[in-house]
Structure 1
């Protein structure tokens, strides 16, 4: 239980940080696509005998790069391309899981196994979370400008292509780390929920980042404790607690706006 909470908090931190940039950039569906596209890579990695994180990372990043290539060489919009690409790759992964004999359990990959995480998987998740968090925080202003307005970032002299692909690489790494905690399906909630909560409460990015990290870590603690007492899925409880925090934040902001509007009319 202590190991699960420790790893969960580290993954929650980096997911919350990236979540703010993804929400600002409008890449919520990109996270969903990469999280589903890791499945074929896991099967191939299991067959050739390499660490699963390598196969998952390569497969997820390939999905992101393929999406970008098709978008740049066609008239289709990014969301349409993502819908086709990640669905196709995820379906390919499901077929490979049923036809190729591996020692990997599909349910653990899809829904995570937080309480049964191994020592090697724990250290992999911690290393990925630490490195990704450091890089994002060091390049905080550059990524913020790129996600807010990539044209302005390009005019300012920033290497927009480097920022784009480095963000995709870190997104893929974070999904691989979080996948071992909450699974490939629920990882999208950890990558979108915290940023949405921060955006609902405030319009300042620095405050948004702080609120997102706090909400993400709090939901992990609440979810882990709740799952222990209810004997339920830990990853599902974490996401449910995150949804509850979102409802509270949205209700608070709605009431605050109503009070401000009413006060302005009275004044």
Structure 2
């Protein structure tokens, strides 16, 4: 048991593990909606769209979360606007928004003389996370979970059949804005800990693994959250004992979980499917 308890002797490890648990629950639940709507790339778009907002907020000396949230929401609006005003498909619109906002963010960071470390924003530094950051992630997680619980049936209908939801009078525009706000808040709250790159992996990989293992949305959220927490904790312990960066260790653990689900899922696994075909 010493190997399990030894990291807990350090305050920075306790804070990092707590943040990992919270993000492991939050990110896959939000990512489930992106995956089911086949818009997983939108998480990457929002993650990079917040960069100009961070640079401007830092320059104006206002809370970073405000600038990042406004910029992230504007990025989703631009994606939707391009899609609605042209024949361009959503994946192309997301790629255009992704590259443009990321480039604008780099320009603003350089021209405004930002004090933020761009490398930390890209890759994160979960070992330096402060208690205030953990509380911020916890509050965002609580707000998202309450929203999902209260509007679960409406979101379920909207996710699988947006045209049908609109036909029966559901406020699909408000629901879409609320979902985009939840995605943006999740990314903004998690960026300092895990960076742009890993936050997308946390949103997509556990949800994708759960998609292969389950058939219902609520089970997909639960299994995804469980895999997210497991991957964060396992990655943190690996980084502690092998002396590797925490973010990449968590990301590789996430991929390992997805790979196991891809190979051994009872209904959709590559190996289990082949075994069933050979028996037939």
Q: Normalising by structure 1, what TM-score? A: 0.95
Aligned to 1:15: 27
Aligned to 1:45: 57
1:56-95 maps to which residues of 2 (within 5 A)? Answer: 56-95=68-107
In structure 1, runs of 5+ residues without a counterpart are: none
Instruction: Tell me, yes or no, if structure 1 residue 239 matches structure 2 residue 251.
Output: yes
Aligned to 1:148: 160
Measured after TM superposition, the shift of residue 165 of structure 1 is 0.9
Instruction: Tell me, yes or no, if structure 1 residue 212 matches structure 2 residue 233.
Output: no
Measured after TM superposition, the shift of residue 206 of structure 1 is 2.7
Alpha-carbon distance between aligned partners in 2 of 1:262 and 1:208, rounded to the nearest angstrom = 29
Aligned to 1:257: 273
Aligned to 1:179: 191
Measured after TM superposition, the shift of residue 59 of structure 1 is 0.7
Measured after TM superposition, the shift of residue 145 of structure 1 is 1.4
Measured after TM superposition, the shift of residue 218 of structure 1 is 0.5
118-127 or 166-175: which moved more?
A: 118-127
Point out 4+ residue stretches in structure 1 off by more than 3 angstroms: none
Aligned to 2:9: none
Conservation of the 8 A alpha-carbon contact between 2:15 and 2:130 = no
Measured after TM superposition, the shift of residue 202 of structure 1 is 2.3
Pairs aligned (count):
264
CA RMSD of aligned residues (A): 1.3
In structure 2, runs of 5+ residues without a counterpart are: 1-12
Measured after TM superposition, the shift of residue 124 of structure 1 is 1.6
Measured after TM superposition, the shift of residue 94 of structure 1 is 1.0
Conservation of the 8 A alpha-carbon contact between 2:51 and 2:102 = yes
Conservation of the 8 A alpha-carbon contact between 2:18 and 2:134 = no
Measured after TM superposition, the shift of residue 138 of structure 1 is 2.0
DSSP 3-state at the match of 1:96 = helix
Measured after TM superposition, the shift of residue 85 of structure 1 is 1.3
Measured after TM superposition, the shift of residue 44 of structure 1 is 0.5
DSSP 3-state at the match of 1:27 = coil
Q: Normalising by structure 2, what TM-score? A: 0.90
Alpha-carbon distance between aligned partners in 2 of 1:50 and 1:193, rounded to the nearest angstrom = 33
99-108 or 213-222: which moved more?
A: 99-108
Alpha-carbon distance between aligned partners in 1 of 2:135 and 2:223, rounded to the nearest angstrom = 27
Conservation of the 8 A alpha-carbon contact between 1:36 and 1:185 = no
Measured after TM superposition, the shift of residue 261 of structure 1 is 2.8
Aligned to 2:235: 223
Alpha-carbon distance between aligned partners in 2 of 1:245 and 1:118, rounded to the nearest angstrom = 28
Aligned to 1:134: 146
